[in-house]
Amino acid sequence: MRTVFWEDNQLKMIDQRILPGRFEILSYKDHKSVAHAIKDMVVRGAPAIGAAAAFGLALAGYESASSSTRDLLDDLQAASNTLKSARPTAVNLAWAVDRVMGVADSLKGERNADEVCQCVLEEAQRIADEDVEINKRMAEHGAKLIDDGDTVIHHCNTGALATVDWGTALGVIRTAHEQGKRIHVLVDETRPRLQGARLTAWELEQYGIPYEIIPDNTAGYFLKAGVVKKCFVGSDRTAANGDVANKIGTYMLALAAFDNGVPFYPVVPTSTVDLSLASGDLIPIEERDPQEVLGLEFMGERVAPQNAKARNIAFDVTPNRLVTGIVTENGVVHPPFEVNLRKAVLGERLE
């Protein structure tokens, strides 16, 4: 089943806030509710957010009471601004919305409002379908990096739940497993929202891949002990120089991997590469509600003092010097990233 899909003129999404305890599919009929769902992390993961936002724009088209194409485009532009503001770090969101808006704008003067709405929906569906195909291509390239018997560390969730289907970094692990390679996965909890412990572990159980959940702060121990052979992570935005913005904690994992000579591979569709940003210093970093930290409980009791304050930075940036290679749908990109990432994005031959 897809994480994000269109059915009965509605956008439907798996509610990722309540997994693994419950599995529910929520339905959305307007773009503002989709924007709220993205912000509230009903759906999460850069590719899944992008597809959800594209379908949200399709909903905005059907919401519009405008009879003229020009007025419809004004309504779509307003909706695109609402959707793009929901999560600023994940570049796929803006990329998908801009792509759909580009199609709508190109039809100005050529199609009536109803036809534009239909084309917007078709483009959103195209983005969703392409995501699945791209993930499987990345998985084939990335699986070649995994050897039989490897133990790998994985941070956050990058599986089917983070995409439309299949997954990025976890998709690589899944493909290697289906190729018959014996793999063991150490799953970072990924605090404070525990996407690793809740979502990645749940997915690995579905696939029958052996795993163990570890606290984020034990990754360095296993890397130094020589247990781990590779690290695989995702990305919410990758700059032109190969700096990688990903879920908070990725930078610390990359530092520990580098210090112990363990290869570190982000798995990144080219839609997540932002060639307009020279380095990761320019990537906007989201800070979320402190209650995600302060609301944690242990043994049924609140962890933090009642009057405690917290900072809740959602992402960090791993500098390219710590990155072994970046897996894309067009192949594995190696340094110099400034040259080779652009080639991958443009579909040119990689050296």
Residues with a known catalytic role: 236
Contacts of 161 (CB under 8 A, 6+ apart): 3, 14, 16, 19, 44, 45, 48, 167, 199, 203
Q: What is the Cβ-side half-sphere exposure of residue 243, based on CA atoms within 13 angstroms?
A: 18
Residues 6+ apart with CB under 8 A from 351: 340
**Separation CA 346–CA 181 (nearest Å):** 32
Rounded CA-CA distance 91/272 in Å is 6
Which of 77, 95, 94, 76 shows the shortest CA–CA distance to 85? Answer: 94
Rounded CA gap, 111 and 69, in Å? Answer: 7
The Cα 295–Cα 126 span in angstroms is 39
Six-digit token string for 312: 């809740």
